[in-house]
Structure 1
Amino acid sequence: MPVFVPTLKAQGHLDQVHITICNVGSRKISSADDYGVGDWNIFAPNLTIYGFDADADACEEAEAELEARGINWTEKHIPLALGKSVGESTLYVTKDHACSSLYKPNEPFISRFAYLSELMDLDFTIELETTTLDTFCQAEGIDSIDFLQIDVQGADLEVLQGASEILSRGVLGIQIEVEFSPLYLNQPLFADVDIHLRKNGFQLFELASAYCARASSPIISNNRPGQLLWADAFYLQDPIGINFNPAVKEPGKILKLACIADTLGFFDYALELLEYLTINYGDNPKYNFAAVIMKILSELPALVETGLDSLAVVNNIRPYLNK
C-alpha cells in the first residue's frame, strides 16, 4: 500500500494528476494483473488503462467484466499483438496459452526443468498481424504513457523497440518480464533489455525473480531453489541524476514519478523526489510537499522516538513548512 499517495490525494495535490498505464500482455491471470483495483485504484477516476493481448477472446472477456463491474476509471482492452514493426508474424501457441510467444519455445532446454514442459511446449501456430505501440498511440492521439508493463514471453524487447517515440515523451516507470536463459529460441535476454532501457534513461530498481529446479533431481536446496530463469524487472527514471530527456525533468512529471514509485513500494525514492520538488519548486504551492512529508514521518513511532529534528530531510524542508 502506498505511503504518500493517500495524503497527497486527500490534500488535493493529485486533483490535476492523471495516470496512464499501458499493459502489454494484459491477460488477467491474477489480481496483480488488474490495475484498476488494488493500490492503483487510488488514482481513479484520473486513471486510464490500455491493455493489449493477441488473444481476442481474452480482451473480449476483460471488456465484458469491466462493463459488469461499473468502473469509475477508463480501461480498454485491445486485441493487438505489439512488436517492433508493422507486419506479419507467427504466434507460437503453447499448452498454457499464457506462455505463447512470437518466439518458438526452446523445448530441449525447457524439458530439463520441472513442470515447464507442461506449460510451454508448443501446441500449434497461427499467423497474425503485428503493430507497434508507437503506431497505436499515434492513431489514437495518445501523447504520453506514465507506466508501462510488458509481459509477452521473450518478445518484450521488441515491444520496447516499437515504442521509441512514446518512450522519448517521458514514460516514467516500466515493469518488464526478462529471461536469463533462452526459454524461447533466439530470444533477447535480460542483458539486452537492460542495455536498451539504460540508454533511455531508466535505472533498475528491483528483480522479482523466479527459479526452477531440474526435472531429473529429487533434491533441491532451500537456499538455492534451482536456476534463475526469469524475473519481473522494475525500472524507473531518475530526473535528479544525469538524464538527457527533458520530458522527465518537468515538476509535474516528477510528481507523477513519486506517485508511481510510492505505489510500487519504493517509499525511499518517493520521499527523495517529494523532497527534491519541495526544495526546488516549493515556492509554488503545487509542489510544496513539506506538510505531506512531515505528516507521514510523524506517523512513524520509531522516527518520532528518535527525534524528527535529527533527520536531514526534515531540516531541508523546514523553510517550506509555513509557505
Structure 2
Amino acid sequence: MALKDFVSRFLGVRDLIAENKQLKAQLHNVGAELAVARSQLYILTQGNTPVSSLQTGSASREADAQLSRYQRRDELVLLPGILELLPQDDRFLVVDGGAREVDRDLRWRPFPPSRMKFVGFEPDQAEAARLNSTPGPGGIEWQFVPAGLWGSSGTIKFEHNKAGGGSSFLPQNRSVTDRWKFENPHQISLAAEIFFPIGEEDMTVVSLADWSGQTGTTSIDFLKLNVQGAEHEILDGAGPLLDTVLGVLIEVAFVESYKDRPFFADTDRLLRQRGFTFFDLLAHHYIGRSASPIAAQHLKIMQPGVGQLTSSWGQLIEGHALYLRDPISDDNAAQLPLPRILKLAALAEAFGQVEYAFELLDWLKDRPDVKDTPIAQTLAGLIASATSKYKAMLRDDMRGAG
C-alpha cells in the first residue's frame, strides 16, 4: 500500500472516530434535555398524566403517582419521617432577602404550612404592605418587614432600575453591563435598552442583628439572599445570628455588574470562614454580547449541555450558591442538637442534596448521644424505608427512559 493511501485511510478512520465521539456526546445531551423536559412537563401538567405511563404503560399507578408528586415537589421521601421526630411546635424559619416571589418557590411546597414560617424584607413599603395583607400559601405564617437588609440600620440611597430585578443599593456599573445582551433560545434584548438606573430614593434598611434583637429571634434555619450586591453587607451585619443558620442560598457574581460588588470567591471565603460548606451553584445566568451579530443560544449547532468540553451559552455572570452546614467534618458543628441535624437533613433533601441527607441521618444514628436509643432505631427504619422508595422511583424512571 502506497504511503499516500495509508495516510488517507488513517485520516479517514480518525475522522470517523471523532464524529462518533461527537455523536455520542450529542446523544448524551439530548438524553439529559429529555430528562429535564419530563420533569418540567410534570410541573406544567400538575402530574395529571404521568409521563412514564405514557411511555411504557408498565409502571404501577402507585409508583407513577409517587414519582409525579415528588417531581412536582408536592412531597419528599425523607421529610415526613423527619418531621415526626421533631417536636410538633418546631417550625422551619426561613428568612428571605429579596422575597417578592416567595410564594412561587417550589422547594418549600412539601413542607406542611404549620411547620413553616417566612420572614421577608422588602424596602418598598407599599409592596411590603401588599404582601402582608396577602395570606401565605396554604396558610403559611409569613410577614414582610418594610425595609431592606443591610450591614447596619438606618437610611441609605437605593438605585431604582428600569428592570425591576436590577434595582440595588449599589450603583450599576454600566461600563460592564452595556456590553451585555440578554438572550434565551427564543429572544434577545440589549441590556443597554432595558437595564439602567432611572432614579434614586432614600430607603430604610435594617441589619439582621438589630432585627433579631427587636424580635427576640435567636436562630434561623435557612437564609436566602438575592439582593444585587448587598450580600456581604447583610452577612457581616448578621453578627452571631449567622452562626445559627443551617443553610444559605445566596446570589454570587463573577463580574462587577455593580460597583464594588463582591465576587463569588469573596463570598465563598466569607461563608467558609463562618463554618459553611459549598454544595452547588444553581440558576446559572449567562449573557451574550451586544456587539455580536448572532445569539449563541439561537444556534442549534451549539448543543448547550452540562458536562460539555466547550462553552455554549455565553458568559456566566451570576448564579445562586447553595451552602449547608457539615457537622460530619466540622468539629465545631458536630454537637448540633439532634433537632438541628434533622432540620439540616430536611433542608438538604428539599434542595436536591439527597445523598447528603442520607449521610447525615446515618451519621446521626451512630452519634454517641443517639446510638443505642429508640431514636437511633427510628432513624435506621426511616433510612431503610426511604431507600426503598427512592430505589422504586429510580426503577420506574429507568423504565420510562427506556
TM-score of Structure 1 vs Structure 2, range by shorter chain: 0.7 to 0.9
**CA offset digits 1:210-242 (Å, max 9, x no partner):** 111111213324442111100011000101102
Aligned to 1:261: 348
Q: List per-residue Cα deviations over 1:129-176 (Å, max 9, x = no partner).
A: 3220110011001110000000110111111111122112x2000000
Partner of 1:151: 226
C-alpha separation in 1, matches of 2:226 and 2:193: 19
Deviating above 6 A after TM superposition, structure 1's stretches of 4 or more consecutive aligned residues are: none
Shift of 1:41: 4.7
Is this contact kept in 1: 2:95–2:119, CA < 8 A?
Answer: yes
- Following superposition, the deviation at residue 93 of structure 1 comes to 0.6
Amino acid at match of 2:200: T
Partner residue of 1:233?
321
User: The residue matched to 1:292 in structure 2 has which SS?
Assistant: helix
Cα distance change of structure 1 residues 117 and 133 upon mapping to structure 2, 3 Å threshold: farther
Q: Distance in 2 between matches of 1:19 and 1:249?
A: 16
Instruction: Give the SS at the match of 2:152.
Output: coil
Q: Name stretches of at least 5 consecutive residues in structure 2 with no aligned partner.
A: 1-72, 182-188, 297-301, 305-310, 396-402
* Candidates 90, 95, 100, aligned match of 1:27: 100
Deviation for aligned residue 1:58? 2.0
Q: By percentage of residues, which structure has more helix? A: 2
> Distance in 1 between the 2:345 and 2:102 partners?
28
Task: Look up the SS of the partner of 2:289 in the other structure.
Answer: coil
Aligned match of 2:86 in 10, 14, 30? Answer: 14
TM-score normalised by structure 1 residue count: 0.84
Question: 2 CA distance for matches of 1:111 and 1:30?
Answer: 32
* In 1: Cα distance, 2:332 partner to 2:174 partner: 42
1:99 aligns with 2:171: no
Question: Which shifted more, 248-257 or 264-273?
Answer: 248-257
2:109 aligned with 1:109 = no
Structure 1 gap segments, 5+ residues each: 305-323
Deviation, structure 1 residue 275: 0.5
Determine whether 1:275 maps to 2:362.
Answer: yes
- Structure 1 residue 15, shift from structure 2 partner: 4.2
Q: In structure 2, what is the Cα distance between the partners aligned to 1:243 and 1:40? A: 33
Say if 2:292 is the partner of 1:217: yes
The alignment's TM-score, normalised by the length of structure 2, stands at 0.68
Corresponding position: 1:289 with 2:400: no
RMSD of aligned residue pairs (Cα, Å): 2.2
| Cα distance in 2, alignment partners of residues 66 and 225 from structure 1 | 39
Post-superposition Cα deviations, 1:66-92, rounded to whole Å, max 9, x if no partner, equal 17x6x4331101111111112331101
Q: CA deviation at 1:244?
A: 2.5
Could you tell me whether the CA contact under 8 Å between 2:147 and 2:203 is conserved in 1?
no
Alignment check: 8 A CA contact 2:78 2:382 kept: yes
C-alpha distance in 2, partners of 1:256/1:244? 18
Is 2:117 the partner of 1:48?
yes
Alignment of 1:160-171 (within 5 A): 160-168=235-243, 170-171=244-245
CA contact (8 A) 1:100 1:120 kept: no
SS in 1 for 2:86: coil
The residue identity in structure 2 corresponding to 1:64 is S
Quote how far apart the aligned CAs of 1:4 are.
0.8
1:175-226 CA deviation, whole Å, 9 max, x = no partner? 0001110110111111111111000110111111211111121332444211
Contact 1:95 1:118 in 2 (8 A): no
Q: Provide the identity percentage.
A: 30
Change (3 A) 1:164 1:245: farther
- Amino acid of the structure 2 residue aligned with 1:20: L
Supply the AA of the counterpart residue of 2:86. Answer: L
Residue in 2 that maps onto 1:182: 256
Contact map agreement 1:282 1:289 (CA 8 A) in 2: no
Give the counterpart letter for 1:235 in structure 2: Y
Q: Compared with structure 1, are the counterparts of its residues 18 and 302 closer, same or farther at alpha carbon in structure 2 (3 Å cutoff)?
A: closer
- Report if aligned partners of 2:107, 2:351 keep a CA contact under 8 Å in 1: no
CA distance in 2, matches of 1:156, 1:120: 20
Larger Rg: 2
Deviates more, 1:177-186 or 1:291-300: 291-300
Deviates more, 1:147-156 or 1:50-59: 50-59
